[in-house]
A = this chain, B = another copy of it.
Amino acid sequence: MKKHTIKDIAQLAGVSKGTVDRVIHKRGKVSEKALEKVNKVLAEIDYQPNLMARSLKNNKDYHLCALLPNPDIDPYWLPCKAGINQAFNEYKSLGITIDTHTFDPTSTEDFLEVNARVLSLNPDAVLMVPLFFNEATKSIKAYAEAEILVSIINNRIGSEDINNFVGQDLFQSGRIAARLMEMITPKDSEIIIAHLDEFFHNASFMQQKEKGFRDYFENLLTSNYTLKTCNSIESNKYKTLFDAIDSSKNISGIFVTTSKTYKVAKMVENFPNLSIKIIGYDLLEKNISYLNSGAIDFLIHQNPKQQIYLGLSQLAEYFLFDKPISEEKLLSIDIINSENYNSYLNQ
């Protein structure tokens, strides 16, 4: 398993390295005889170009922009900073620069504005959380026209100009929650699917989870749960959810489709006589605290840190080593309880 260089091949084929180079890169200007000689050698050996040398010769700096919601407004995005740093440290000595731009997740205007700013920086690629469908589609088109690669994470939206998606299968995520819920609640009891989010843009993602959740229970032959959906928003102090619990004293579980699971855990404290199991999303500090106290039973980990790290590293390796970018990278969907959350925080 010797390592062959272009020089080796040239010698074996009895031509110069220039000719070998032209054959390999199909630059033409090669006689049939020479082409044949080189191809014969190439067929015999397994030529693997030295990526270090290639990359050194190229010696370009690549500029990536990460575009995500402001973690101060939605703490779900907090771990992303660590993911970006990890990618930054890994690739900074290889000619990759990464900078972060955050936008207000409550404002489509801000989203567009930040995108315009990023576009004007003319980076080589953008990694974006496409929170708002219409605005994201528009921005992505603009990037494509400027020949800027676009990867998206967390929320899958369709577009021909997207090179790469990293995230989870939300429908399946709902099914996982349903299976867990089935295991810890009494048969045929009543379960609430709670959508807690002031951000309307999350609607479609919450619904995918709900669909998966309902799908699981609909296909259960051995039991007959009652599922109720409840939309509830903070500005209303989540009154709809409170009323739903209050009116029916038969609720055994609540599936919270967003990271605001801790709000539900807190609310349930008002009903000490009820035994309500709670399954929700994301390793926010407050969620973990309720997980530890037993108020929350399971969390599903959407792993924003890993999402952004994988998205960035795919882009970096594409530029540096020509590695193909996978169109879609689905992360594992992690089930979290009070005993294993710690093993994920240190990842």
Residues of A bordering B, CB below 8 Å: 1, 3, 48-53, 55-56, 61, 92-95, 97, 168-169, 172, 175-176, 178-180, 183-184, 216, 297, 321, 330-340, 342-344, 346-347
With both chains docked as a complex, state the minimum distance between the C-beta of A88 and any C-beta of chain B, in angstroms.
Answer: 11
Alpha-carbon distance between A172 and B339 when the two chains are bound, in angstroms: 7
Alpha-carbon distance between A53 and B95 when the two chains are bound, in angstroms: 12
- The residues of B that contact A335 with a CB separation of less than 8 Å are 334-337, 340
- The residues of B that contact A180 with a CB separation of less than 8 Å are 337
* Contacting residue for A93 out of B50, B93, B176, B178, CB 8 A: B50
Sample of 6 A–B contacts (CB below 8 Å):
A1-B97, A50-B93, A52-B56, A56-B56, A93-B321, A334-B334
Number of copies: 2
Alpha-carbon distance between A166 and B88 when the two chains are bound, in angstroms: 24
Q: Quick one: which of A92, A184, A332 has the most chain B CB within 10 A?
A: A332
Q: Is the CB of B179 within 8 A of A338?
A: yes
Alpha-carbon distance between A55 and B56 when the two chains are bound, in angstroms: 10
Known A179-B337, A332-B334: A93·B343 in contact at CB below 8 Å: no
Q: Is the CB of B330 within 8 A of A346?
A: yes
Alpha-carbon distance between A340 and B331 when the two chains are bound, in angstroms: 11
With both chains docked as a complex, state the minimum distance between the C-beta of A343 and any C-beta of chain B, in angstroms.
Answer: 4
Q: Is the CB of B339 within 8 A of A216?
A: yes
Q: Is the CB of B95 within 8 A of A176?
A: no
Q: Is the CB of A169 within 8 A of B56?
A: no
- The residues of B that contact A55 with a CB separation of less than 8 Å are 52
Q: Quick one: which of A55, A169, A175, A343 has the most chain B CB within 10 A?
A: A343
Q: Is the CB of A176 within 8 A of B53?
A: no
* Contacting residue for A343 out of B95, B297, B332, B347, CB 8 A: B332
- The residues of B that contact A331 with a CB separation of less than 8 Å are 343
